[in-house]
Amino acid sequence: MTSRLTRRQRRRVWQAIQYAVFVAVLVLVVVLADWDRLANQFAQPDLAARLFPDIITIALRNTVVYTFSGFLFGLVLGLVVAMMRLSSVTPYRWVAGVYIELFRGLPALLIFIFVGVAVPLAFPGAEIPGGIYGKVALGLGLVAAAYMAETIRAGIQAVPKGQMEAARSLGFSHARAMASVIIPQAFRIVIPPLTNELVLLFKDSSLVLFLGVTLEQRELTKFGRDLASETANSTPILVAGLCYLLVTVPLSFVVRRLEARADKAT
């Protein structure tokens, strides 16, 4: 006969096992990793100091600019695609559906290469307005729009049907009701997921790397990689990473706050 444990005893044993695994892994990493070499390669304070202020004034600034231009373009395009998805005109729904599947199904990198190579080939002489900023806005925006379109569509459909009926019964046309009544409410619903999309875009802006940029146009990843190869040391990569976290962690915090507030409001 094995001795039967009480429920409390069983819980304690189970917790002890989990803590033991945690400590074991921690000890293994601490003991086995070559901390001196890591520190030498990734954390040289004097090298890190030399990155400033350029990493902020050029690289982080460009990352933010790229992100916002892509976000704004994506938001406008996403709204259009969402409206097409909800349109009563069947071909519009098809086009929107294909667009969404296509751009959600392709790696963002592929789309960047496409924007950088295929568009100039297809339209010789035609320049994407805004130079590199226009290209980035296009590349990031095309990807973002596909995700945002689905988010916005869900937001519009989450607005109770009675709102459209009330607006129509007051004499609003369908389009005016959308613009004055439905979309303002839908945007409140989709602010948390759209902010989340902003975080994703912030990270995806690193793909600018593949468009070929001048020194002044470098964003965080390109900047970090360039300086890492210049100095034959990876400290710039680590610092660039910290710069990303400087933005993404507070933004994620904001998203959680917005979501909590939205939950409370409903």
Partner 1 sequence: MPQQTPPADATPADATPAGRPEIEIRDLHKSFGDNHVLRGIDLDVAPGEVVCVIGPSGSGKSTLLRCVNLLEEPSRGTVHVGGTELTDPDVDIDAVRRRIGMVFQQFNLFPHVDVTGNLTLPQRRVLGRDKARAAEVARENLDRVGLADKAGAFPAQLSGGQQQRVAIARALSMGPEVMLFDEPTSALDPELVGEVLSVMRLLAGEGMTMMVVTHEMSFAREVADRVVFMDGGVIVEQGPAAQVITRPAHERTRNFLDRILDPAAVEPPVGEDPGPTRQPEG
Q: Point out which residues bind partner 1 (CB under 8 A).
A: 160, 162-163, 165-173, 176, 180-181, 184-185, 188, 265
Contact 236, 227 (CB under 8 A): yes
Q: Closest separation between CB of residue 18 and partner 1, Å?
A: 44
- Closer residue to partner 1 (CB): 10 or 176: 176
Q: Which two tokens stand for residue 198?
A: 């902003």
Q: Closest separation between CB of residue 157 and partner 1, Å?
A: 16
CA distances to 86, 121, 165, 177, 183 from 174, in Å? 12, 41, 10, 5, 12
3-state secondary structure of 88: coil
Q: Closest separation between CB of residue 144 and partner 1, Å?
A: 25
Q: Is 173 left (phi over 0), alpha (psi -120 to 50) or beta?
A: beta
CA distances to 88, 155, 159, 168, 191 from 162, in Å? 19, 15, 8, 10, 22
Q: Closest separation between CB of residue 236 and partner 1, Å?
A: 46
- Closer residue to partner 1 (CB): 185 or 248: 185
Distance (Å, whole) CA 145 – CA 182: 20
- Closer residue to partner 1 (CB): 184 or 212: 184
Q: Closest separation between CB of residue 168 and partner 1, Å?
A: 7
- Closer residue to partner 1 (CB): 15 or 180: 180
- Closer residue to partner 1 (CB): 108 or 167: 167
Residue with tokens 């948390």: 192
Q: Which two tokens stand for residue 36?
A: 């001196």
